[in-house]
Amino acid sequence: MFEFIKDIGKKLFGSHEEAPEKIKEYIQSDNPGVENLDVEVDEEGNVTLKGEAKDPDALQKAALMAGNIEGVAKVDPSGVQVKEQKDLKVEIYEIKKGDTLWAIAQKFYGDGNKWKKIFEDNKEVIKDPDLIYPGQKIRIVLED
């Protein structure tokens, strides 16, 4: 279960009734590798994802895409079956006030120049590297 700050993020829907379809369309617009996607949203903003993901990366990306939407409090991806297992070390990082991709890369990789790696690893969530916001959650793929 992924938890998010409900009142921040990309505004996609105006009513609870349209939320499942709007979230599904959003994930499918930049599909990270999830097939037969089904989205359910309850009154509290808890999202349940169902379908098949090609690998754990695709599952995490879909969950982060859904969670970084305004009005979403939690994402439960347990209904998504993962086809191919990978053994990557990934940390979910919540962006803080004053963060930049450069600073985050410096913190995790010891090299601010690796900000492009963070951007590429999160291209489904971060559309512009200069537009990240506090509370947004991203993936940090840790190097061995």
| Residue finishing a domain among 82, 98, 120 | 82
Between CA 143 and CA 109 the distance in angstroms is 8
Q: Check whether residue 104 and residue 130 sit in a common domain.
A: yes
Q: What is the amino acid identity at position 63?
A: A
Per-residue pLDDT at 41: 97
What single DSSP character describes residue 10?
B
**Contacts (Cβ under 8 Å, ≥6 apart) of 66:** 23, 26, 27, 39, 47, 49, 72, 75
Give φ, ψ of 74 to 5 degrees.
-145, 150
Q: Check whether residue 55 and residue 121 sit in a common domain.
A: no
| Residue finishing a domain among 82, 107, 129 | 82
Q: What is the amino acid identity at position 36?
A: N
Q: Check whether residue 26 and residue 77 sit in a common domain.
A: yes
Q: Check whether residue 109 and residue 73 sit in a common domain.
A: no
The phi-psi region of residue 138 (left if phi > 0; otherwise alpha if psi is between -120 and 50; otherwise beta) is beta
Per-residue pLDDT at 102: 98
Per-residue pLDDT of the chain (144 residues; tens, 9 = 90+): 899 999 999 999 999 999 999 999 999 999 999 999 999 999 999 999 999 999 999 999 999 999 999 999 999 999 999 998 877 799 999 999 999 999 999 999 999 999 999 999 999 999 999 999 999 999 999 975
Residue 115: CATH number of its domain: 3.10.350.10
Between CA 61 and CA 65 the distance in angstroms is 6
The most distant pair of C-alpha atoms in the chain lies apart, rounded to whole Å, by 45
Per-residue pLDDT at 105: 97
For residue 39, the enclosing domain spans: 2-82
| Residue finishing a domain among 43, 61, 82 | 82
Q: pTM of the predicted model, to two decimals?
A: 0.88
Per-residue pLDDT at 144: 54
